[in-house]
Amino acid sequence: MVKVRMNTADVAAEVKCLRRLIGMRCSNVYDLSPKTYVFKLMKSSGVTESGESEKVLLLMESGVRLHTTAYFRDKSNTPSGFTLKLRKHIRTRRLEDVRQLGYDRIIVFQFGLGDNAYYIVLELYAQGNILLTDSEFMVMTLLRSHRDDDKGFAIMSRHCYPVELCRVFKRTTITTLQEALISLHNVDNNENIENNEVGTNDSGSSKAKQGNRKNGKLQESNKISSDGSRAKQGTLKAFLGEALGYGPQLSEHIILDAGLIPNTKIGKDFKLDDATIQVLAQAVTKFEDWLEDVISGDRIPEGYILMKLNNLGEKEQASCKTGSSDQIYDEFCPLLLNQFSQGIP
pLDDT for 114 equals: 94
pLDDT for 54 equals: 87
Cα separation, 276 vs 181, whole angstroms: 12
Q: How far is CA 159 from the centre of its chain?
A: 24
CB 76 within 8 A of CB 32: yes
Phi, psi of 151 (to 5 degrees): -90, -10
Amino acid present at 40 = K
pLDDT for 202 equals: 53
pLDDT for 51 equals: 63
pLDDT for 297 equals: 73
Residue 280's nearest CA partner among 336, 340, 240 is 240
CB 128 within 8 A of CB 64: yes
pLDDT per residue, tens digit, the chain (345 aa), is 567 789 999 999 999 999 999 999 999 999 999 999 999 999 877 565 666 778 999 999 999 999 999 987 788 789 999 999 999 999 999 999 999 998 899 999 999 999 999 999 999 998 999 999 999 999 999 999 988 877 778 899 999 999 988 888 888 989 988 888 887 766 555 555 454 554 555 555 544 444 444 444 444 444 434 433 433 458 899 989 988 889 899 999 999 999 999 998 887 677 788 899 999 999 999 999 999 999 887 788 888 888 887 775 555 555 445 445 678 888 889 999 998 886 555
Q: What is the pLDDT of residues 97-146, one digit of tens each?
A: 999 998 899 999 999 999 999 999 999 998 999 999 999 999 999 999 98
Cα separation, 123 vs 118, whole angstroms: 16
Cβ contacts of residue 97 below 8 Å, gap of 6+? 22, 108, 109, 110
DSSP 75: P
Q: What is the pTM of this model?
A: 0.79
CB 100 within 8 A of CB 107: yes
pLDDT for 19 equals: 93
Q: Where are the beta strands (DSSP E) in the chain?
A: 25-33, 36-47, 53-61, 65-69, 95-100, 106-111, 118-123, 129-133, 139-142, 146-148, 153-155, 304-309, 327-333
Phi-psi region of 7 (alpha: psi -120 to 50; beta: other; left: phi over 0): beta
